[in-house]
Each structure stands twice: as structure tokens, then as C-alpha cells.
């Protein structure tokens, strides 16, 4: 009997040991990692950088960049490290050099470990909010050539693009037009479905979504216009019975109480954003944390910005003109630095559902 208990205790002990085996804390300090942190071509000083490994049971290593924008970690265990930067910076505004923008910059990635004992690398930080994801990739707003005589601009559309490696879901997302700054929403329409949780309307990686003002073949009105009858979505205010409704194309509907208009889009100047839809309390403005992407455009270079620089530091569209058939598209699919001055270019024709050459 005693022997039996002894054996079962031993088994229990071995089980305990194998279950609670800890990762090693002893190591030979063999690795030195020297990192520079850069944003928009300038090295950043006084920026905290942290290294985390899961190979050893050691605390995260954290240090701050010096006056040359460099941080050195020495005597590290040989391991895989994830490096993280998340810091507020103050940098010159791209639209007015007398102003400074305060923004959050981020970087996160694994350090490449090779055969060398010393690793030197430059971390290219990006503006928070410019990470891969669902982007407003194209804005066609100006109306077609020869549309001016009848003020025809119902062929307006937006194109979204998923630049991430994951499927994203449109369920419950909102489109907003901003009048002036984030607390002043002037149009708000919503995709069907439940915000954040819904999985009805997937957008696979590397795919485009066309959201038309009206999903109609606009060439029947203005021959120089475009066919949007195969758009993926259309804005349709169910309180506006005159608003065209293509039965084959699903609708985003208006959320604004008392609004009987279609989604408003300025021809040559506006701010458009998409947000996750968890905040639809538009009279109080939309919570900045819920914004997925935001683009400001204006046709003239001396335009004064209408949205917070945390969302878009610049603006695209200088040179757009009404009824020109021109469109505004990111320079590459989903290319986003949260500075539309650099991220967008004017293209001669709209490209719904694909990227210009």
C-alpha cells in the first residue's frame, strides 16, 4: 500500500514538473542590437523602444533613442525579438510649415536574427491609423465631362480597398461626410449588419469594393459618364423616394434623423471617412478611435484643413475641377501614410473596382 502511494506521488510529481517547466532565465549575453527610429526621413530622438522575446523568461527590454536617434541593447540572449515603438511626436505640418502636428507614430515587427553578434537596423515608423486595413482608395466626385449643363454628378462613387492580410467585414460600418472637424458630421450612412461582430459582408485581402451614389448606368444620361450598375453597394436614403434604388445592389442607408437627402459629396472639396460603426451618435461627433480611414480633398492649394491631422495631415485633389471626369486615387492600392497630399494623385478617368496603371 505504501509503495503504491509512493509510485502515484512520483507520477504526480513528474506530471507537476513537466507541466510547470519554466522557460530558461540563464543565458550567455551574446547579442547586441542597435536600432535607429525614423519617421518621414528624419531620425527621432527620445523615443522609447521595447524588445520582447518569448524564448526566455525575461522581462521586456526598454530604452530610449539618444540625440542621434539611436538606441543600443547589449548583452542580450540570442533569441527572436519583437520590437515595438509607440510614441507621440511633434513634426512640421505638410500643408503649412509654420504649424506643427502632434501625432502618434508606431512600429512593430520581428528583428531579423542572422549569424552576426551585432544587429543594426532602422525602424521606419508610421503614423498610427496608417496601418494596413480597409482604405478609401479612390474618390470620384467631380461629375462627368459634359455633365455641367444639367449639373449631373450622380455618378459619384468611392472605392474601398483591403490592404491587410486579413478579411475585413463591412457589417455596420459607417460612411461620414465631415463639414468641419470630427465633431461636425454632415452626412452619415451605414452598411447593414452588426458593427464589429457581424460577418455577413466580407472583403478579402487585396480586393476592391465600389460604393456608388447611385448604382446606375450613367452613360444613358451622359455618354461620357460611367456604368455603375454593377457597383457592390449604393447609398440610398429610404426616406427619399426619389433616390434611385437598383434592386440588385445592396444599400447603405441614412442614419441622420430628418434627413431626406442622398449621401452628400462635395464635387471638388470635402472630407470623407469610414468608421467601424460602434459610435453612431453623430450629433456628438464620431469617436476618433472608431475611424478606419479618412481622406480630405480640395482642388486649390491654399485650402485650410477641415479635419484633425491625426486622421489626415494633408489633402489630395489639388487641380480637380467640376465636370472634368477626373478622379482621385491612391498612388498604389491602399497606399496610406495618413497624408493625402502624398498618398493620392489625380487620374484622367475613374477606375471603379481596379487600380489605375
Residue numbers of the site for Ca ion (CB under 5 A)?
138, 159, 214, 235-236, 243, 245-246, 249, 251, 262, 293, 336, 338, 351
Least CB distance from residue 217 to Ca ion, whole Å? 14
Shortest Cβ distance from residue 332 to Ca ion (Å)?
11
Q: Are the CB atoms for 325 and 224 separated by under 8 Å?
A: yes
- Min dist. Cβ of residue 212 to Ca ion (A): 8
* Cα(43)–Cα(152) distance, integer angstroms: 49
In the bound state, the residue with its beta carbon closest to Ca ion is 351
Which residues are CB-neighbours of 326 under 8 A, at least 6 positions away? 142, 319, 320, 346, 347, 348, 349
Min dist. Cβ of residue 65 to Ca ion (A): 25
Element (H, E) at 343: helix 340-343
Nearer to Ca ion, 82 or 124 (CB): 124
Q: Which is nearer to Ca ion, 225 or 351 (CB)?
A: 351
Instruction: Give the whole-angstrom CA distance, residue 242 versus residue 349.
Output: 28
What's the CA gap between 177 and 197, in Å, rounded?
A: 24
For residue 257, the minimal CB distance to Ca ion (Å) is 19
d(CA 57, CA 304): 52
Closer by beta carbon to Ca ion, 43 or else 221 = 221
Nearest-approach distance from CB 198 to Ca ion, in angstroms: 19
* Nearest Cα to Cα of residue 210 among 153, 254, 161, 267: 161
303 within 8 A of 320, measured Cβ to Cβ: no
- Is residue 211 within 8 A of residue 253, CB to CB? The reply is no
Q: Give, for 189, the enclosing helix (H) or strand (E).
A: strand 185-190
Nearest to Ca ion of 71, 294 (CB atom): 294
Closest of 228, 293, 237 to residue 264, by C-alpha: 237
19 vs 242, which CB is nearer to Ca ion?
Answer: 242
CB 259 to Ca ion: min, Å: 13
50 versus 229: smaller Cβ distance to Ca ion: 229
Which residue, 123 or 126, has its beta carbon nearer to Ca ion?
Answer: 126
8 A C-beta contact, residue 29 and residue 114? no
Amino acid at each position: 500500500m505504501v509503495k503504491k502511494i509512493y509510485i502515484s506521488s512520483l507520477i504526480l510529481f513528474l506530471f507537476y514538473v513537466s507541466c510547470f517547466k519554466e522557460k530558461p532565465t540563464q543565458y550567455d549575453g551574446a547579442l547586441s542590437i542597435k536600432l535607429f527610429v525614423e519617421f518621414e526621413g528624419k531620425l527621432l530622438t527620445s523615443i522609447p523602444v521595447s524588445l520582447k522575446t518569448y524564448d526566455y523568461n525575461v522581462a521586456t527590454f526598454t530604452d530610449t533613442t539618444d540625440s542621434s536617434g539611436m538606441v543600443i541593447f547589449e548583452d542580450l540572449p540570442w533569441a527572436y525579438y519583437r520590437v515595438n515603438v509607440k510614441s507621440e511626436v511633434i513634426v512640421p505640418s505638410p500643408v503649412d510649415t509654420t504649424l506643427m502636428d502632434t501625432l502618434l507614430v508606431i512600429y512593430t515587427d520581428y528583428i531579423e536574427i542572422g549569424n552576426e553578434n551585432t544587429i543594426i537596423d532602422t525602424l521606419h515608423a508610421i503614423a498610427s491609423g496608417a496601418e494596413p486595413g480597409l482604405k478609401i482608395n479612390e474618390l470620384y466626385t467631380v461629375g462627368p465631362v459634359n455633365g455641367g449643363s444639367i449639373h449631373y454628378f450622380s455618378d459619384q462613387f468611392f472605392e474601398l480597398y483591403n490592404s491587410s492580410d486579413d478579411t475585413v467585414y463591412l457589417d455596420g460600418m459607417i460612411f461620414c461626410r465631415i463639414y468641419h472637424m470630427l465633431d461636425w458630421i454632415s452626412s452619415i450612412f451605414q452598411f447593414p449588419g452588426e458593427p464589429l461582430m457581424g460577418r455577413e459582408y466580407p472583403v478579402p485581402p487585396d480586393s476592391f469594393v465600389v460604393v456608388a451614389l447611385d448604382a446606375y448606368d450613367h452613360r444613358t444620361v451622359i455618354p461620357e459618364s460611367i456604368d455603375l450598375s454593377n457597383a457592390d453597394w449604393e447609398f440610398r436614403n429610404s426616406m427619399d423616394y426619389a433616390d434611385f434604388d437598383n434592386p440588385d445592389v445592396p444599400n447603405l442607408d441614412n442614419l441622420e434623423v430628418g434627413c431626406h437627402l442622398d449621401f452628400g459629396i462635395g464635387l471638388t472639396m470635402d472630407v470623407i471617412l469610414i468608421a467601424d460603426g460602434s459610435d453612431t451618435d453623430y450629433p456628438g461627433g464620431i469617436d476618433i478611435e472608431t475611424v478606419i480611414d479618412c481622406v480630405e480633398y480640395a482642388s486649390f492649394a491654399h485650402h485650410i484643413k477641415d479635419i484633425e491631422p491625426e486622421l489626415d495631415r494633408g489633402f489630395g485633389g489639388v487641380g480637380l475641377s467640376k465636370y472634368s471626369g477626373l478622379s482621385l486615387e491612391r498612388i498604389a492600392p491602399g497606399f496610406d501614410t495618413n497624408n493625402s497630399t502624398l498618398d493620392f494623385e489625380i487620374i484622367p478617368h475613374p477606375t471603379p473596382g481596379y487600380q489605375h496603371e
